[in-house]
Amino acid sequence: MPIHLFLTGDTQVGKSTIISHVVAQLGVPVSGFRTITVAGENGESDLFLIPAAGTRDDFTSASHLAHRTPGRIPEVHPDVFHSCGVPLLAFCSGPLILMDELGWMENSSFLFQTAVFSVLDGTIPVLGVVRDRRLPFLNAVRAHPNVEVFVITRENRRKMQNVVLRLMQKRLEI
């Protein structure tokens, strides 16, 4: 049985909300990372990479991953995957690792990808989000033998929240 569980689905369907709920219900320490969005003016927003156990206030200029302007391709700072993401994954410890989320911005960050696969090859359970895009890195995450992927929709998200909770309790032996 795969020990890592990833959620996928449309944008804003509730994948990260499910993860937050499950982590709160499990009540265990987490390591790894989360990405958070901070809204700006005129529909602009900034994306930050923070420690999994952090809060929405735990972002700095060093963790600034991307800037989004409506109608434009996001300005991505891939060096953040190396300077922040790799250390967050290198120092992961149990009982649970979060990877919220893996997407297209990591496509050229090979050191980060290596860190992701090192964790996936390990024995500490991972709970994460993987974007539903067909890219070599994301395809390899989904195809990893230790990974199980669940599609989240607006129709199934409440049910899946309970399914994910039960599966993670079983994997963590809670």
* Digit-coded pLDDT (tens) for 118-164: 999 999 999 999 999 999 999 999 999 999 999 999 999 999 999 99
Domains of the chain: 4-32+78-172 (3.40.50.300)
Q: What global pTM score does this model have?
A: 0.93
Q: CA angle 12-17-20, nearest 5°?
A: 150
How crowded is the C-beta side of 162, counted as CA atoms within 13 Å?
3
DSSP 84: I
